[in-house]
């Protein structure tokens, strides 16, 4: 029995070694949503090199991710929810079925350390601008607690189930009023604006606290690799290499990593920034930590 135990310990040690060797790339996935199988989802990410991820999904499902210790998770707050539902999965965002969580409830969750950032902000699915004044009390709260705010931009896949979705509301130029009203807010443009990537770049050039993530645009199942390369080239040429963050949006992480690796003009140092260093800086809670 003892020998068996020793053998088991040795074997698991070897497996661990194997895993760390095969995933030499440290990855912070800033754009994750819930899945039907949280354990296998988290394990697959870990095996690909993910040590930290930012997850947002229905509040109920999100709570099922609180016990994982193999990767470190940051928890978001998804809203506003058309008809109270998460797009695509159509789960209720909140137990009460509400579209907008109450400010007092949100603040309570922040104080109990159950919310690390706001996002994915679903204003486009809801049919309003990210600078709509109904969002301002939430931005005020984010600023008060120094929480980043991730805003969905670009387009959407089919069957999202949000009847008021508006393509034009995914244009990052709509962030202008919000950024001038809250210049210290840490905002990230999710999906790098996708088809509005030039607008995303112009906003980032004017606002140095604004970051982006490369989810969807880096997924070859959704966007052609040449398009991803064009967007990356434009971003790097604009001097934004310190503000691009890696994200999968539940896409196949191996395909997304391969897409990044196949961009030949990215240096190793630029890839390290993209894979985790920029996100670490963006999500840092205070200057000291
Ligand atoms: Zn999105």
Contacts of 231 (CB under 8 A, 6+ apart): 192, 197, 217
| Ligand 1 mean position, distance from CA 178 (Å) | 19
| Ligand 1 mean position, distance from CA 190 (Å) | 6
| Ligand 1 mean position, distance from CA 87 (Å) | 10
Output the tens digit of pLDDT for each of the chain's 289 residues: 455 445 444 444 444 444 443 457 899 999 999 999 999 999 999 999 999 999 999 999 999 999 999 999 999 999 999 999 999 999 999 999 999 999 999 999 999 999 999 999 999 999 999 999 999 999 999 999 999 999 999 999 889 999 999 999 999 999 999 999 999 999 999 999 999 999 999 999 999 999 999 999 999 999 999 999 999 999 999 999 999 999 999 999 999 999 999 999 999 999 999 999 999 999 998 644 3
User: DSSP readout, 85-150?
Assistant: B-TTT--BSSTT--SS--HHHHHHHHHTT--S-EEEE-HHHHTS-TT-GGGHHHHHHHHHTT--EE
| Ligand 1 mean position, distance from CA 25 (Å) | 25
Residues 252/238, Cβ–Cβ less than 8 Å: no
| Ligand 1 mean position, distance from CA 137 (Å) | 22
| Ligand 1 mean position, distance from CA 37 (Å) | 20
Residue with tokens 């947002």, as numbered in its chain: 56
| Ligand 1 mean position, distance from CA 108 (Å) | 26
Strand partners, 195: none
| Ligand 1 mean position, distance from CA 152 (Å) | 4
The angle subtended at Cα 152 by Cα 235 and Cα 155, nearest 5°, is 85
| Ligand 1 mean position, distance from CA 33 (Å) | 10
Q: 3-class DSSP state for residue 262?
A: coil
| Ligand 1 mean position, distance from CA 32 (Å) | 10
| Ligand 1 mean position, distance from CA 155 (Å) | 8
Residues 229/220, Cβ–Cβ less than 8 Å: no
């Amino acid at each position: 029995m003892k020998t068996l135990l020793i053998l088991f310990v040795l074997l698991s040690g070897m497996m661990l070694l194997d895993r760390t060797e095969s995933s030499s790339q440290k990855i912070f996935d800033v754009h994750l949503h819930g899945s039907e199988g949280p354990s296998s989802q988290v394990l697959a990410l870990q095996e690909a090199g993910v040590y930290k991820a930012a997850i947002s999904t229905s509040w109920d499902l999100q709570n099922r991710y609180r016990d994982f210790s193999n990767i470190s998770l940051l928890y978001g707050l998804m809203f506003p929810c058309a008809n109270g539902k998460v797009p695509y999965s159509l789960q209720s965002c909140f137990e009460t079925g509400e579209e907008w969580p109450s400010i007092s409830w949100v603040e309570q969750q922040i104080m109990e350390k159950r919310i690390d950032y706001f996002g994915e902000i679903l204003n486009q699915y809801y049919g309003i601008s990210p600078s709509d004044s109904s969002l301002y009390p939430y931005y005020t709260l984010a600023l008060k607690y120094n929480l980043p705010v991730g805003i969905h931009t670009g387009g959407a896949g089919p069957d999202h189930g949000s009847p008021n979705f508006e393509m034009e509301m995914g244009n990052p130029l709509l962030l202008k009023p919000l950024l001038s009203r809250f210049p210290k807010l840490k905002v990230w443009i999710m999906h790098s604006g996708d088809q509005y990537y030039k607008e995303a770049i112009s906003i980032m050039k004017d606002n140095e606290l604004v970051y982006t993530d490369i989810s969807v645009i880096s997924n070859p199942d959704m966007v052609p690799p040449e398009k991803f390369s064009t967007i990356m080239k434009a971003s790097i040429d604009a001097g934004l290499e310190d503000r691009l963050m890696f994200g999968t949006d539940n896409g196949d992480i191996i395909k997304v990593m391969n897409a990044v690796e196949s961009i030949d003009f990215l240096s190793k140092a630029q890839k390290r920034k993209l894979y985790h260093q920029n996100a670490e800086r963006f999500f840092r809670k205070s200057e000291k930590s």
